[in-house]
Structure 1
Amino acid sequence: MVSFTKCVKTGKSVYLLYGDAMEAGPQSRKIDFSFNTVYVIESFKDGEKKCGKELYEDTLRWQSIRNRSFKSCYNDISSFRELEKTFFEIRSEVRKGMCPVLHFDMHGDKEGVSLKNGDHVDWPYLNGVFQDINIKLKNNLFVTMGTCHGANVVKSYVVTQPACMLGFLGFSKK
């Protein structure tokens, strides 16, 4: 199910994908969702504002201290290779029982996201990674994209394939 709304703060369009994207049904149905970890994955050049780091330092790490069953991770990545390493780590932790929310904070465009060293990662690649993790989580992955055009990751979803995520929050435009 995809819902379209406006961000109160910026007035920009925001997509919210929730439920099993392949299953039709009323929007009011109950969705069982749980998580025990938030991964913040950020890639901005030096001198650029790092909102993901602020989110981690101001909120998430304190929750980890207060609640031992909750984990938060901050990953400041520079390259595609580092992103792949982070995804490998996430998959490994999922096999051990971690249920993450993935939050991305980086530059995005209609084709994908840009990393601080100039590497470009396209939406279909990310969609495939999310799908792999979501299958392991039995349709319990929630992704947030603090990127321009982040909702384009949903546009690369192929309806005949297993769902790439249970839920999504991100901007449709710049």
Structure 2
Amino acid sequence: MVGDIKHIVVIQSLFDGDKKTGEELYNDTIKMQIEYVQAQDIKMSHAFHNVEDKEALIEVLMYYGVNSSYMQGGLVIHLEIHGLDNLQGLILKNNSTITWEVLSDLFRVINVNTCNKLYITMATCYGRYLYKGIDPKKKSPYSGYISASQEVTTGEVMEDFTMLFHLLIGNANLVKSYIKLDKRGSNFYYKDSKRVFEENFQFVLEKLKTDKSIKDETLKFAREQSKKNGEPDADEEMGNYIFEKSLRDIYKIHSDAFKFDC
């Protein structure tokens, strides 16, 4: 089922003066409730990593890339790392930065190995911009993610994610847990990767359909092909047909990113 979870990984990289919210969340909620409260039939694995810099973060994610084939049943990777003000990625404890594109490439390996059952949760300002890392020509890097579209306070992080993981450890489903959190009111929201793709594709589609130069180029190409094949000169109707067919082909190629044979 979408959102089912069997493994939780928390990765923290916060500045020296910051409240260590990731470690606190892991020790006081995740670890304690899984080990002492969670029912045996849904018992989860769990791990915590405190990383100093970009290289250490990459190393941790590569480790899970290698081992994710053995972590079936759904995996949550929770990030407690600051978001960059320029919306391009994350900034780590030592001020090194990592882009959404690099993160998405690392997540993709894990998501493919878990058969599209990787979920990302981010106690991160501007975390919604993770979508910028998506390459529509490659497999989806995650099944879904929970993030914020704006700055968030330490209090919000602790209150919302404590509740989210408390619910998750009780019902073993991230989506169900988020729905309950959202009903209470939260600045964090859930979005699945297919919805991200659909929204982005619709934006591009509208732009293509209203750009006269693109249609003109399509008609020019159609006429060149007709002439090359010794056929009658292609008219505007033929150009429009080729244009629409091209859009359908592009959609099919990109939508394959969400098909997992497993």
Which residue of 70, 86, 89 corresponds with 2:44? 70
Does residue 88 (structure 1) correspond to residue 62 (structure 2)? The answer is yes
Q: 1:75: Cα distance to partner? A: 0.9
Give the distance between the partners of 1:135 and 1:124, measured in 2 at CA. Answer: 16
Give the distance between the partners of 1:97 and 1:48, measured in 2 at CA. Answer: 31
- The amino acid of 1:96's aligned partner reads Y
> Is 1:43–1:116's contact at 8 Å kept on the other side of the alignment?
yes
Does residue 101 (structure 1) correspond to residue 76 (structure 2)? The answer is yes
Give the distance between the partners of 1:46 and 1:155, measured in 2 at CA. Answer: 29
Higher strand share: 1
Report the 3-state secondary structure (helix = DSSP H, G, I; strand = E; otherwise coil) of the residue aligned with 1:159. Answer: coil
Q: 1:97: Cα distance to partner? A: 2.8
Give the distance between the partners of 1:81 and 1:158, measured in 2 at CA. Answer: 22
Q: 1:145: Cα distance to partner? A: 1.1
Report the 3-state secondary structure (helix = DSSP H, G, I; strand = E; otherwise coil) of the residue aligned with 1:169. Answer: strand
Write the mapping of 1:8-157 to structure 2, written as runs, cut at 5 A: 31-66=1-36, 67=38, 69-98=43-72, 99-109=74-84, 110-157=87-134
Query: Quick one: higher RCO (CA 8 Å, sep 6+), 1 or 2?
Result: 1
Give the distance between the partners of 2:142 and 2:59, measured in 1 at CA. Answer: 20
Report the 3-state secondary structure (helix = DSSP H, G, I; strand = E; otherwise coil) of the residue aligned with 1:154. Answer: helix
Deviation string 1:54-84 (CA, Å, 9 cap, x unpaired) is: 1101111013313463122111110122112
Equivalent pairs counted in the alignment come to: 144
> Is 2:62–2:106's contact at 8 Å kept on the other side of the alignment?
no
Question: Structure 2 regions of 5+ residues with no counterpart?
Answer: 152-262
Greater gyration radius: 2
Deviation string 1:95-135 (CA, Å, 9 cap, x unpaired) is: 22354200001111201101111110011111111112111
Give the distance between the partners of 1:166 and 1:82, measured in 2 at CA. Answer: 24
Give the distance between the partners of 1:63 and 1:89, measured in 2 at CA. Answer: 25
Report the 3-state secondary structure (helix = DSSP H, G, I; strand = E; otherwise coil) of the residue aligned with 1:151. Answer: helix
**With structure 1 as the length reference, what TM-score do the two structures score?**
0.75
> Is 2:76–2:120's contact at 8 Å kept on the other side of the alignment?
yes
Q: Percent identity?
A: 26
Report the 3-state secondary structure (helix = DSSP H, G, I; strand = E; otherwise coil) of the residue aligned with 2:136. Answer: coil
Match of 2:177 in 1: none
- The amino acid of 2:67's aligned partner reads E
The change in CA–CA distance for 1:162 and 1:139 in structure 2 (over 3 A counts) is same
Deviation string 1:112-171 (CA, Å, 9 cap, x unpaired) is: 101111110011111111112111111111101111111111122123321111111101
Q: 1:93: Cα distance to partner? A: 2.8
Q: 1:89: Cα distance to partner? A: 2.2
Higher helix share: 2
